Structure 1
Amino acid sequence: MSQFEQSKISSIVIVGGGTAGWLTAGILASELRSRIQRKELCITLIESPNIPTIGVGEGTWPTMPNTLNRMGVSETEFIRECDASFKQGSKFVNWGSEENTENNFYYHPFDVPMASMEGVLPEYWLEQEQSKSLAESFTVQQALCEANKAPKNITHAEFGREANYGYHLDAGKFSNFLKKHCIEKLGVKHIFADVEDVTLDPSGNIKSISLGENGPFTADLFVDCTGFKSLLLGKALNVKFNSVSGMLFADTAIVTQVKYPQMNAPIKPYTQSTAQTCGWIWDIGLPTRRGVGYVYSSEYTDTENAKKEIDNYISKTTINAQQSDYRTIQFTPGYRDKFWHKNCVAVGLSAGFLEPLEASALVMVELSAYMIAEQLPATKSALYVTEKRFNKRFRYHWQRAIDFLKLHYILSKRNTPFWLDNRKSESIPDSLQHLMVLWRHQVPKATDFELSAELFNAPSYQFVLYGTHFRSELLFSMPQREQEYMQQQVLHNQQLTGKLIDKMPDHRSLINKIVQYGLAKV
């Protein structure tokens, strides 16, 4: 056997199941399908039979439909088996101030309007009277969400749509669904076993993992999906964890499930985030229940008072609310100093975790798995090249995610200690402070950021920035030709919104039809 053959990457082991593990397995197996079919590559997932999944995240980004499609998943079966519904964006209630009024909210929709990346859209909006929000003026999704309308119809094919969407789903069911698909359709091998020990070679690479009765297990590349424990990257390879609790204060979530008062109750086609005294409450609508959780900082309140706040929220938003059973999840916001070290790469909670304000956890898994597949070298001797690229890219992604999440807090005028401290300059990253200096007199645009494929792009910053009281004071007027073009876009959006409000079905009605009849195959 030649030296090249000995060095060839032919085996990948994913340690840890759950959504992160099985989603990673599915993406790698589908993207590297030809190598698996030619028996040049073997992907194995090792899953503990004794560790329950965290299952905090029940919301995805609009990247997920494409991911499932590329994996060869049936959208109909996914919706049926994962208790899934459609998500068209996020609604932030009472974030701007403590006024509990009907209009104290803003949307971060999934649609990316024309001319928003270049900043033309918000410039035009800022020069007008602004009787409607930025999201309502230039996307159909605020109106669709407020009317509880679906983003597609039963006549659409799988993954077809009228408006951009992601999903809400049952995390446990999704993990099992992916497991079955990976094993039966994508050729992923599966072992139930606990990792008892990790052996390193003299160069610091992982040589093998000990699986008790199953003996030692070797691989060319190990993917750590062991959650907060980070058994491989954190524990065995001793890669440092960087806390960002000085910037993002939330460190605890209390989670519960809320039953609908009747089976035909509306399903919200968006994630609702409602600001509270020391954090915020998420409210996610699935077909059979709502997932509700309070994310807060233990530095500013205790569990007893947090439960009072979430109980109060549930009683106000639920008819005949019953006493809830809560699960408490504690976390330290932050990320690893390196995500890829030697022949090990961490994906999911083992790489890091920030509060689930914009559902960034699952998209980080998607992005990580795609980059591993795209950049996987032919030989083990070239792994260090991919390691450098991967770490540079994801260090940037995590830093930008912190900026974007922090932006939501610094724009608020709420005045409890938690919110006041969030606005102190020492808690705001320098990179975000620099952007805020820019945006005093200009709008966010694509050229403000380094990557063409940003984790959060310019329109996302625009929707959040101008969703509250903040307004950039523009020093230059828009040319007449561009004003006329944007007037046409506003008119077009009004017409399209009216058309879709009439055309699109009620969200629950569509879910019921998909469960009963299914969508047409792509």
Structure 2
Amino acid sequence: MAKRSILIVGGGTAGWLTAAYLARFFDLPRNPRLAITLIASDEIGSIGVGEGAFPTIRSTLQFIGIDESQFVRSTTATFKQGIRFDDWVRTPAPGKSSHFLHPFEPPYHGDGHSLVSYWLLQDPATRPAFAEAMTIQNRVAEARRAPKRSGEGAFDGPLNYAYHFDAARLADVLSAQARALGVEHLQGTLTDVALDGASGAIDHVVTAEHGTLSADLYIDCSGFRAELIGALGAPFHSVRHQLFTDRALACKLPYVDPATPLDSYTIAAAHAGGWTWDIGLAGARGIGCVYSSAHLSDDRAAEILAAYTGGRSHDVKVRSIPFEAGYRTTPWIKNCVAVGLSGGFLEPLESTGIVMIEAAAAMIAEMFPLGGPVGAPARRFNELMSARYANIVNFLKLHYCLSRRDEPFWRDNGDPASIPDRLKELLEEWRYRPPGRFDFILDLESFAFFNYQYILYGMEYRTDLSPVREEFPDVAEAERIFARIRNFGDRAASELPAHRTLIDQINAAAA
């Protein structure tokens, strides 16, 4: 069988994660049938819009052979147990704020009882918040405890978790592992993409440093520049009419006190024209003001960022990152496939950018034909990726459209014309029942039904089960389980180490 070759254009998280994943999947050092080359320029920096991930990153890193403790040390990483949403439900009154947590741990489900319905039947005025009632992780995260103890297994622990990390350092870690797995790395800059006149596929690319390069499959990880897939004319499907944010101002602030306690969740703080992310790394906080330029001027966004940081953003470099929410409907055309920002980007909320890189890399690995037409998987890949993007749009829109904030940005998000039809259908069904597993086809989803439950009920959506209350007679048993969750949560919050303590222990182990 003839040897096949893959050329990845662009580094960063997308390029190096894809390279490492494919090299590991195909056991590249012992595979004479395949060669993988990545070309990237050091002059083109990483966007690094999101410095957080979803729990799938643990299995991805483990699969490609990354050591968890070394990863934490090398990327100044911390543990992420979910996202805390501040003031998304209503505009805060002076001196009053509210929040809810979207934890990564599924709601407790045991002894044949689904507690969701029993929580819905409790008095909304006196019942605890949904995440607080349904999982011990809410209590652990609010207490700034870690999701695991020192010495517990790599990528494992009693609670589900992901990470916060420095995106540029993550790319360095992935690069080192990909090269160790047999990926050839070329430093260089793309200057031209030449198409085959007959087929319309990529014939070769031209670089300033290495001349002409050719491959069987080209993977476009060139970011928003989309240097390869753009040359093939892949259409871009904008969802700007549904997801309004299109700008971010991002900065990094060192801790005034190195011993500052660490949150173990991303903070997403709503403001008049969008929201602000706040991510606690080991040595600094990554903060970014995400906003809609149609609702907020750049100067006003800078003022909001400055107010959030207590004026400290004036003393550091602030990057302006424009983007348009949308995706390529045909990210795989002939012998080229786009991964990462070149294939699509929605917005930083819920760390979906890295989730989609992971999904694309895994699908390319499974589908890549070692023989036959290299473009054969394109139709199925495009169907799956487009469906994933469309479903993520639904999930992200859910965060916005239920808000009762009174600013124009939030009112416009509640306009039914801006809500995808499928989400409108589900919201109507969820008036009478909670989200369930049959609402979603798992192979097309990045988020499970319980992720929707956390957002839906965190945003105080009302599912009215009172007309069928008699269908749920085991109230006493449900109350007993709720009490157990509270007790286990208190115990876990006292027994698990402080988040900062665990990170310090991992970092000290290197010495």
TM-score, normalised with respect to structure 1 = 0.93
Could you tell me which of 480, 499, 504 is aligned with 2:491?
Answer: 499
Counterpart contact for 2:399–2:459, Cα < 8 Å: no
* Partner residue, 1:457: 448
Alpha-carbon displacement from aligned partner over 1:298-324 (angstroms, at most 9, x marks no partner)? 111111111111111111xx9x88634
* Partner residue, 1:428: 419
The CA distance in 1 between the partners of 2:474 and 2:63, in whole Å, is: 38
* Partner residue, 1:368: 360
The CA distance in 2 between the partners of 1:375 and 1:337, in whole Å, is: 18
* Partner residue, 1:49: 42
Counterpart contact for 1:44–1:190, Cα < 8 Å: yes
* Partner residue, 1:211: 207
The CA distance in 1 between the partners of 2:38 and 2:372, in whole Å, is: 20
Change in CA separation of 1:342 and 1:433 when aligned onto 2, cut-off 3 Å: same
Is 2:245 the counterpart of 1:250?
yes
**Matching residue's letter, 1:195:** L
* Partner residue, 2:63: 70
The CA distance in 2 between the partners of 1:174 and 1:436, in whole Å, is: 38
Mapping of 1:64-213 within 5 angstroms? 64-100=57-93, 104-115=98-109, 120-130=114-124, 131-184=127-180, 186-201=181-196, 202-213=198-209
Q: Secondary structure at the match of 1:196?
A: strand
* Partner residue, 1:490: 482
* Partner residue, 1:346: 338
**Matching residue's letter, 2:85:** F
The CA distance in 1 between the partners of 2:59 and 2:314, in whole Å, is: 38
Is 2:8 the counterpart of 1:14?
yes
CA positional deviation for 1:113? 2.4
Is 2:215 the counterpart of 1:224?
no
CA positional deviation for 1:158? 1.6
Is 2:388 the counterpart of 1:397?
yes
Could you tell me which of 411, 424, 439 is aligned with 1:448?
Answer: 439
Out of 66-75 and 123-132, give the one that drifted further: 123-132
Counterpart contact for 1:124–1:478, Cα < 8 Å: no
* Partner residue, 2:20: 26
Alpha-carbon displacement from aligned partner over 1:136-168 (angstroms, at most 9, x marks no partner)? 111122111111100011121221212110000
The CA distance in 2 between the partners of 1:395 and 1:321, in whole Å, is: 37
**Matching residue's letter, 2:277:** W
Counterpart contact for 2:248–2:322, Cα < 8 Å: yes
Change in CA separation of 1:76 and 1:307 when aligned onto 2, cut-off 3 Å: same
Could you tell me which of 336, 340, 351 is aligned with 1:359?
Answer: 351
Counterpart contact for 1:371–1:390, Cα < 8 Å: yes
The CA distance in 2 between the partners of 1:97 and 1:478, in whole Å, is: 33
CA positional deviation for 1:480? 4.9
Is 2:462 the counterpart of 1:438?
no
Alpha-carbon displacement from aligned partner over 1:452-508 (angstroms, at most 9, x marks no partner)? 562111101100001022111124236457656544432332232122111111111
Q: Equivalent pairs: percent with the same residue?
A: 39
CA positional deviation for 1:37? 1.1
The CA distance in 2 between the partners of 1:14 and 1:408, in whole Å, is: 35
* Partner residue, 1:466: 457
* Partner residue, 2:329: 337
Alpha-carbon displacement from aligned partner over 1:29-70 (angstroms, at most 9, x marks no partner)? 11111x541321111111123211111110000111111111
RMSD: 2.0
The CA distance in 2 between the partners of 1:435 and 1:156, in whole Å, is: 40
Gaps of 5+ in 2: none
The CA distance in 2 between the partners of 1:240 and 1:119, in whole Å, is: 47
The CA distance in 2 between the partners of 1:511 and 1:171, in whole Å, is: 18
